[in-house]
Structure 1
Amino acid sequence: MTWLRKPWVGPLAFVVVAFVAFSLPPYLTGDRLQSRVQSDWGPHYPILVVHVVCSSIAILASVVQIWPWFRGRFPVWHRRIGRVYVWGGVLPGGLAGLVIGWMTPFGPIAMVSTLMLATLWLTFTWLAWRAARERRFRDHRKWMIRSFALTVSIITNRIWGVVAFILLADRVPEAELPNTVGGIATWLGWTVPLLISQWWLERRPSKRRASVEQRETVPV
């Protein structure tokens, strides 16, 4: 079967589902004490809940959207899930992310990174949506790959956070450690996936791969 030629689909789906299953439940209880990010600013928690829930919708939808077999086999559902990704996931999640980024408790470095991430996430997704509406499906695919890279960057953010904590726990004063780790994780979390996605787009494709990609491109 053709979908078996994409061995990354299964592992990616597993990682995404596992991440959402671990990250989302504390924000469905209504108990702000279970939040993994605490802030003294009153509206922070409800806005954070919106961000987490909508971003979870976006990351789950994105896995289906980039699955070549699903796009080619079910183009109508690809379009429908694409609308969920944009209007139910990225748009509310990104707007909430702007507020959360501005009020982050992890310092100015993390604040700038989070604001840039949310702005680019919204921008790339809007450009992908507009390209699809104008039937520029090759441009749509490119912008969606960039949008997807930022959508899943929350996972790599957590990985970099663990690495930074392990490397810096004994070298940075305890009072400065959260902001230092947060700054490193937030920047590496989205810049590395975005650079990888850009490399992927600019690589020289083989004739066979280019032909397959052209066949898999469907309206959204």
Structure 2
Amino acid sequence: MTTTETAASIGEVRRATPWWRRPWVFPLGLLVTVFLVYSLPPYLGLNPAESRIPAPTAWYYPVLVTHIGFATIAMVTCALQIWPWLRQKHPVVHRRTGRVYVFAGAVPASIAGFAIALAAPFGPVGAVSNVLLATLWFTCTVQGYRTARARRFGEHRRWMVRSFALCMSIISNRVWAIVWATVLPGQLETTFGGSELAMGQAIAGLTTWTGWVLPLLAAEWWLTRSRGRRRAPSPA
């Protein structure tokens, strides 16, 4: 069997894989839906008093709402982008959804996220983390788009996996916030010298760093593992 025939055979196997062999598709869609249903309502009325994040400056709240709006589009379209059935059966829809993800989701959301990260009231450790997150999300997304335009689809896939991990890291962020808010209060009088401000900034800093670094590391591990499998020689 030639290399071309082997690749075609693999492609046929992938296309023939039924949806229930992709057990993460439905849970991911459900997780994104539940997260958005919980997170969006305080911002739908455009009332700064209902914001879960106190606005330190006059411009912070409108930029925060802008970030949330574009990030919502990014999360929904990103979940659709990695759905194998849509990608294989409706490639045109996949491409158009990808453009929406890039230009009406990830890119404007990351730019707005960069701005609010600089002024967020969570201390310098959290600010540095969120600035890096916004920068990496923007970079990975733009690289993914550029490699797709250049028809380097292997590279495109890897960059978009990273972009996906950074996009969905907001969900991981909420999980880690609960973890650190449970663990650290017991150290208020010792580690933080009774300062609730210092403890709050520590919780915010740890939450932001673990929220996106761990998903990105997991994505890199998965990409390395997948690449190793593709390069492994087939048995004689």
Could you tell me how far 1:103 is from its partner in structure 2?
A: 0.4
Moved over 4 A (4+): none
Equivalent position of 1:139 in the other structure: 155
Alignment partners' CA distance in 2, 1:206 and 1:123:
26
Aligned length: 209
AA partner of residue 66 (structure 2): V
AA partner of residue 16 (structure 1): V
Equivalent position of 1:90 in the other structure: 106
Deviates more, 1:27-36 or 1:173-182: 173-182
- Percent identity reads 45
Alignment partners' CA distance in 2, 1:70 and 1:3:
11
Could you tell me how far 1:170 is from its partner in structure 2?
A: 2.3
Alignment partners' CA distance in 2, 1:46 and 1:163:
29
The question of whether the paired residues in 1 share the 8 Å contact of 2:70 and 2:108 is answered with: yes
Q: Does 1:113 align with 2:135?
A: no
Alignment partners' CA distance in 1, 2:125 and 2:100:
32
Equivalent position of 1:100 in the other structure: 116
Computing the radius of gyration from Cα coordinates, the structure with the larger value is 2
Equivalent position of 1:187 in the other structure: 209
Alignment partners' CA distance in 2, 1:92 and 1:131:
19
AA partner of residue 200 (structure 2): P
Q: Does 1:81 align with 2:97?
A: yes
| Structure 2 unaligned blocks of 5 or more | 1-16, 189-194
Q: When the two structures are superposed, what TM-score results if normalisation uses the length of structure 2?
A: 0.86
Q: When the two structures are superposed, what TM-score results if normalisation uses the length of structure 1?
A: 0.92
Equivalent position of 1:212 in the other structure: none
Alignment partners' CA distance in 2, 1:42 and 1:85:
29
Give SS of 1:196's match.
helix
Alignment partners' CA distance in 2, 1:8 and 1:63:
11
Give SS of 2:130's match.
helix
Higher relative contact order (CA 8 A, sep 6+): 1
AA partner of residue 46 (structure 1): P
CA RMSD of aligned residues (A): 1.6
| Structure 1 unaligned blocks of 5 or more | 209-220
